[in-house]
Structure 1
Amino acid sequence: MSGRSEEKLKQYFIAIVPPPPVSDDALRFKNYFRDQYNSKASLNSPPHITLHMPFKWKEEKENELVAAFSRFALGRPIFKMELHNFGSFPPRVIFIDVVQNDSLDLLNKELHRFCKRELNLFNASYKDQPFHPHLTLAFRDLKKPMYEKAWAEFQERKFSARFDVECIVLLKHNGKIWEVRKEFLFDPSSLPKDEEANSFEFHH
């Protein structure tokens, strides 16, 4: 009979976490939704753009995950990502929108292919949905009347940010919130020399 520890499953997911000051600004928006619209669920994780939805994995084999994603990230080129204004998935979700990006689309496809082949991970419930990258500000606990009020405000607001995607991040649920477990760096030599000081721009 196997011990209980061998069956201890934890939840993980893979995402892009923007660097400061972009992440700081996104966090201010999340706090605004908590204070003005009574929606705080998004504060259970750092600001992020999901690449692979949450999955369960044996905690005792976490080092296998870390090793696998280290291999995946090795030698990958850094690329730019642009955030622009706000979007929504009625009737509960409001987010910062991500500008269409071929490098991001390719990363997402190759990551999912890698996860299936190397880790036997499948996102069955999402397989028929197109990839729509976004940075969530409010979701499951945003009540419908509050959603309508918030969207009336945010659909007119302006926001833009641009930053270098230098890594992917493994997040782990500690039983209460999602925490960054490990960053997997892309190839630093792929960043043009005049941009080595992690370039980012944003305004709103």
Structure 2
Amino acid sequence: MQSSSDFQRYFLAIIPPEPVYSEAQVLKEYFKNTFGSKASLNSPPHITLHMPFRWKEKKELILIEKLKDFGQLQAAFQLSLHRFNAFPPRVIYLDVETNSQLVVLQKELERFCKRSFQLFNANRLDQPFRPHLTLAFRDLKKETFGQAWNEFKNREYKANWLVESIYLLKHNGSVWEKHAQVALKKTIY
């Protein structure tokens, strides 16, 4: 019989490079210190590609190797964050500019995870893919959301970078950590 300790929690995401990473981290800290929303600090700044799932830790290397094979079939691409946005009444985030390459990558990854690992992106059944980088979410109180959103709704933010990899993140029992980097195929411009 398998115990739950045989399994670990993982998810797949894009993690921005510097300076975007640090800028997002500073914003997350601001939401914690100003509005009491600290839940987003439990993971590095990221754009989720596949929701958290459970996987046998002893089969982790197989997961990583197959993901690396997948990455070599996917082209690197440009990604832009272009404003603050919200999912009222609890979530404030940096919005990802519409990007067909990102949508294709996410769909291919979802299909690959179903075929190769029998992993299903459960939350995606009822919601379309809405790429974003969360700054404040579940512990942002409804009463505080309005105040926070009023401060950020007209604020500008722009950043872009070449996405050359995705990450497998692993939960260490208290927070999510970068666990394995999956390089994407380089393209010649």
- Taking structure 1 as the reference length, what is the TM-score of the superposition? 0.89
1:80-105 alpha-carbon deviations (Å, 9 max, x no partner): 00001111111110000000000000
Deviation (angstroms), 1:76: 2.1
4+ runs deviating over 4 angstroms: 2-5
Structure 2, unpaired ranges of 5+: none
1:159-179 alpha-carbon deviations (Å, 9 max, x no partner): 000100000100000000000
Alignment RMSD: 1.3
Deviation (angstroms), 1:191: 4.3
Mapping of residues 113-152 of structure 1, within 5 Å: 113-152=111-150
Mapping of residues 44-123 of structure 1, within 5 Å: 44-123=42-121
| 1:78 and 1:191 in contact (8 A); partners too | no
| Residues 84 and 52 of structure 1, relative CA distance in 2, 3 Å threshold | same
Q: 1 CA distance for matches of 2:50 and 2:77?
A: 19
Deviation (angstroms), 1:8: 1.4
| 1:26 and 1:47 in contact (8 A); partners too | yes
Q: 1 CA distance for matches of 2:142 and 2:175?
A: 24
Aligned pair 1:155/2:158, yes or no? no
Structure 1, unpaired ranges of 5+: 193-204
Q: What is the aligned-residue identity percentage? A: 51
| Residues 175 and 28 of structure 1, relative CA distance in 2, 3 Å threshold | same
Q: 2 CA distance for matches of 1:191 and 1:24?
A: 28
Aligned residue for 2:7? Answer: 9
The one-letter amino acid of 1:134's match is H
Q: 2 CA distance for matches of 1:191 and 1:179?
A: 31
| Residues 125 and 4 of structure 1, relative CA distance in 2, 3 Å threshold | closer
Aligned to 1:53, the other structure's residue is in SS state strand
The one-letter amino acid of 2:55's match is W
Q: Which has the larger radius of gyration?
A: 1
| 1:167 and 1:186 in contact (8 A); partners too | yes
The one-letter amino acid of 1:166's match is E
Deviation (angstroms), 1:64: 1.4
| 2:89 and 2:142 in contact (8 A); partners too | yes
Q: How many residues align?
A: 189
- Taking structure 2 as the reference length, what is the TM-score of the superposition? 0.96
Aligned residue for 2:23? Answer: 25
Deviation (angstroms), 1:3: 6.7
Aligned residue for 2:169? Answer: 171
Aligned to 1:132, the other structure's residue is in SS state coil
Q: 1 CA distance for matches of 2:125 and 2:162?
A: 28
